Chains A and B, each alone.
Chain A
């Protein structure tokens, strides 16, 4: 664990305990697994891969309970300043620990993922839903967290270069990801979220690799999201195998304009909807308004941090206020009726005057080896 990694975790934990006191919370019960780990990681700094975990956070200490012996071994070595317990009977152990905390106010997060058996004891154990409290901390980053995401964005840029250089006609989609993953392991990246799309107008979105082989003229889209020191940074780019045709270049110019319009709208005090609207207006101006609906796209960006897809979601019906200290990816990714699914996205940090763009990769439709 690097010194800066220790610093950011120390800062985060101090903030958590301070905010808990301000909220009147004596204890937090946090759940995590390899899919949804941000709440747990906020307090423990552990990047769980296998099994499930619960953490009990108190002012005088944090205890991490893991049902996997292998993960408990790993946590004991990788996490500092917390107690690690291998708990084959995860719920039994945690229930016993919570029972010893009677008359304390205990918050849970994320409440929807707390195991049913514990949730059923909410009244006896004095459990309440503190998901919104944690969401606020997860969205509004400390300066050291923003720095961590800046570093992660640099690795994302490098990872995309590896992915892009691996793209050539005849290679399978999963082989490109294999190249990027090997690079990431050597760079201290312990996780990555990545989906791809390969082809033309028939491609309506991105998914895990299916074995499809690249051929000349294909567009290759990817959303690459390495995790560095616990923080995910995303980059969305599109490349063409061989030379891009006029329609692909024209479509890409539109997506670039939309992304830049979205980024221009980012500043302290606007809402998520304002950013989404700025992106979508570019499509509507060109008569492509249908393609910014949920029939063709999911979100127009989202938060990045301890989860690859954290709040707020950038959508025209999301009124969450955007504050300085938030980190977002702005990506007008959607289906284009002429060329197919196309992606472009940069990570930004919100400032009082606007935003700072962390992504360094050129905003180009890349052409790679045919």
Chain B
């Protein structure tokens, strides 16, 4: 559950940026024949509503209705007492507190005479909310909004770039605090990284550790006492005002691996700053890994925020103006190495 800093700041996220996003989406909706759009939100699937309004729920759930014109309507089962808090992060929407948010937005779309309404992530919409919507708007044709929304969402604006940059600074500087020679316990390392990120204003921080990279490259949500081996990796997934990044860094105590890790870190930074559009990422990486002598590419994953998840795996070739988190696993002269970094796709 979210318990980090949450709030709206006009300098970081100008109202004009939100208006422009809504205008772009409405234009796309109109082209595809949608009279309105619905977005479910909770703390796991917050990102579409955050992108449109600035609001992220710390608890519970709700639905945002984006009509063809006028203010968005946010319906939630959170009590009226919480409406004042919602208002501090969502200055755009009309807030409707109701025990049945689906019925609330269903009545609105029925009263507005909507014929076709797009729903983001229509298939996974909670059945209870769906039943409420169709109960209140039985004649409305509901259809998936996914491709329309993703099409608008694949490029980012300056405001989002700024928020991502702030989240990344928190992640990077938190990982900088780890001293491989002194770090002995995974729980302490996780606490150190998380504390730094939260003291810096992180809205959320998920820290994961691979305590013994030679034994297993997979990362766990470690807590409590767990010894760190000579080579380990730490992942910091950090959110700032709804913008998420991940960074993974590998650490080694022996000189040989330490040198190889430094070279790989520098290589990843170079790759992340030069991801180009149009070419599948695995092809770009297969080419770039040749810059690292004796490195073998073991795995690549690209993630982005294109729907309601903060980050999700994406397979399509990068687009100019897009944002990715790039996660790479390498074998360096037999040393396992993991790295992840955010990347703004260059033209």
CB contact under 8 A between A190 and B223, given known A49-B206, A174-B198:
yes
Contact of B6 with A209 in the complex, beta carbons under 8 Å: yes
Asked if B140 CB lies within 8 Å of chain A CBs, one says: no
Closest Cβ of chain B to A72, distance in Å, is 9
Other 13 A-B pairs with CB < 8 A, given A78-B220, A116-B127: A69-B313, A76-B218, A88-B313, A111-B128, A115-B123, A119-B130, A174-B198, A174-B199, A181-B194, A184-B191, A186-B185, A210-B5, A295-B80
Closest Cβ of chain B to A209, distance in Å, is 6
Contact of A91 with B124 in the complex, beta carbons under 8 Å: yes
Contact of B4 with A209 in the complex, beta carbons under 8 Å: yes
Q: Which of A35, A51, A91, A172 is most buried by chain B, counting CB atoms within 10 A of its CB?
A: A35
Which 7 residue pairs across A and B have the least CB separation, nearest first?
A112-B128, A188-B224, A178-B198, A182-B195, A119-B127, A185-B191, A182-B191
Contact of A185 with B216 in the complex, beta carbons under 8 Å: no
Q: Which residues of A from 49 to 69 have beta carbons under 8 Å from B?
A: 49-52, 68-69
| Complex-state Cα separation, A187 to B206, whole angstroms | 16
8 residue pairs of the A-B complex, CB under 8 angstroms, read A35-B61, A50-B44, A113-B126, A186-B225, A187-B187, A192-B3, A193-B1, A204-B81
Contact of B7 with A70 in the complex, beta carbons under 8 Å: no
Closest Cβ of chain A to B301, distance in Å, is 7
Give the chain A neighbours of B220 by CB distance below 8 A: 74, 77-78
Closest Cβ of chain B to A136, distance in Å, is 20
Give the chain B neighbours of A169 by CB distance below 8 A: none
Give the chain A neighbours of B191 by CB distance below 8 A: 181-186
Total of A-B residue pairs, C-beta within 8 Å: 178
Asked if B160 CB lies within 8 Å of chain A CBs, one says: no
Asked if A356 CB lies within 8 Å of chain B CBs, one says: no
| Complex-state Cα separation, A178 to B59, whole angstroms | 19
| Complex-state Cα separation, A352 to B177, whole angstroms | 52
Asked if B146 CB lies within 8 Å of chain A CBs, one says: no
Contact of A33 with B44 in the complex, beta carbons under 8 Å: yes
Closest Cβ of chain A to B212, distance in Å, is 12
Asked if A305 CB lies within 8 Å of chain B CBs, one says: no
Q: Which of B13-21, B82-90, B161-169, B275-283 contacts A (4 or more CB under 8 A)?
A: B82-90
| Complex-state Cα separation, A174 to B205, whole angstroms | 13
Asked if A294 CB lies within 8 Å of chain B CBs, one says: yes
Closest Cβ of chain A to B192, distance in Å, is 7
Asked if B64 CB lies within 8 Å of chain A CBs, one says: no
Using CB atoms, name the residue of chain B closest to A37.
Answer: B44
Contact of B128 with A69 in the complex, beta carbons under 8 Å: no
Candidates A35, A111, A175, A177; contact of B59 at CB < 8 Å:
A35
Asked if A179 CB lies within 8 Å of chain B CBs, one says: yes
Closest Cβ of chain B to A124, distance in Å, is 15
Contact of A177 with B221 in the complex, beta carbons under 8 Å: no
Give the chain B neighbours of A172 by CB distance below 8 A: 5
Contact of B221 with A116 in the complex, beta carbons under 8 Å: no
Closest Cβ of chain B to A331, distance in Å, is 15
Candidates B123, B192, B201, B223; contact of A188 at CB < 8 Å:
B223
| Complex-state Cα separation, A172 to B198, whole angstroms | 11
Candidates A114, A175, A209; contact of B126 at CB < 8 Å:
A114
Using CB atoms, name the residue of chain B closest to A76.
Answer: B218
Asked if B341 CB lies within 8 Å of chain A CBs, one says: no
Contact of B223 with A189 in the complex, beta carbons under 8 Å: yes
Chain A contact residues, majority secondary structure: mixed
Closest Cβ of chain A to B36, distance in Å, is 18
Contact of A177 with B124 in the complex, beta carbons under 8 Å: no
Candidates B45, B85, B125, B219; contact of A116 at CB < 8 Å:
B125
CB contact under 8 A between A187 and B224, given known A117-B124, A211-B5:
yes
Contact of B192 with A182 in the complex, beta carbons under 8 Å: yes
Asked if B145 CB lies within 8 Å of chain A CBs, one says: no
Contact with A along B55-95 (1 / 0, CB 8 A): 00011110000000000000000011110110010000000
Give the chain B neighbours of A88 by CB distance below 8 A: 313
Contact of A185 with B313 in the complex, beta carbons under 8 Å: no
| Complex-state Cα separation, A187 to B199, whole angstroms | 19
Give the chain A neighbours of B313 by CB distance below 8 A: 69, 88
CB contact under 8 A between A70 and B219, given known A191-B1, A204-B81, A210-B5:
yes
| Complex-state Cα separation, A46 to B59, whole angstroms | 19
Closest Cβ of chain A to B56, distance in Å, is 9
CB contact under 8 A between A117 and B81, given known A35-B43, A77-B220, A186-B187:
no
Contact of B190 with A185 in the complex, beta carbons under 8 Å: yes
Give the chain A neighbours of B309 by CB distance below 8 A: 50-51
Asked if B42 CB lies within 8 Å of chain A CBs, one says: yes
Using CB atoms, name the residue of chain A closest to B190.
Answer: A185
Contact of B195 with A178 in the complex, beta carbons under 8 Å: yes
Using CB atoms, name the residue of chain A closest to B311.
Answer: A50
Give the chain B neighbours of A189 by CB distance below 8 A: 223
Asked if B213 CB lies within 8 Å of chain A CBs, one says: no
Contact of A116 with B224 in the complex, beta carbons under 8 Å: no
Contact of B187 with A188 in the complex, beta carbons under 8 Å: yes
Contact of B221 with A74 in the complex, beta carbons under 8 Å: yes
| Complex-state Cα separation, A298 to B59, whole angstroms | 14
Give the chain A neighbours of B185 by CB distance below 8 A: 186
Give the chain B neighbours of A370 by CB distance below 8 A: none
Contact with A along B180-198 (1 / 0, CB 8 A): 0000010110111011001
CB contact under 8 A between A77 and B218, given known A204-B84, A207-B82:
yes
| Complex-state Cα separation, A51 to B309, whole angstroms | 7
Candidates A69, A174, A194; contact of B5 at CB < 8 Å:
A174
Contact of A174 with B126 in the complex, beta carbons under 8 Å: no
Closest Cβ of chain A to B20, distance in Å, is 26
Asked if A308 CB lies within 8 Å of chain B CBs, one says: yes
Closest Cβ of chain A to B229, distance in Å, is 15
